[in-house]
Amino acid sequence: EEEIPRLRSQISELMVVISRVLYEFEDENTALYTFDLSEREKLYELSSQQEIMNWSISRIKLIVETIDDIKKKHEDSIIARAIEFIKENYTKDINLADVAKHVAVSPYYLSKLFKSERSQNFIEYLTDLRIEAAKKMLIDSEMSAKEVCFAVGYSDPSYFSKVFRKITGLT
State the Cα–Cα distance between residues 53 and 93, nearest whole angstrom.
56
pLDDT on residue 24:
76
**For the stretch 117-143, what's the b/e string if a residue is b when 16 or more beta carbons lie within 10 angstroms of its beta carbon?**
beeeebeebbbebbbebbbebbeeeee
Task: Provide the residue-wise pLDDT of the chain in tens; the chain has 171 residues.
Answer: 579 999 999 999 998 888 887 777 666 666 666 778 888 899 999 999 999 999 999 988 988 888 888 788 888 899 999 999 999 999 999 999 999 999 999 999 999 999 988 889 999 999 999 999 999 999 998 999 999 999 999 999 999 999 999 999 988
Q: 0.85 cut: is pTM over it?
A: no
Cα–Cα–Cα angle for 13, 15, 19, nearest 5°?
Answer: 120
Whose CA is closest to 111, among 85, 73, 78? Answer: 78
pLDDT on residue 139:
92
What is the distance, to the nearest Å, from the Cα of residue 127 to the centroid of all Cα atoms in its chain? 22
pLDDT on residue 1:
57
pLDDT on residue 28:
64
Assign 68 to helix, strand or coil. helix
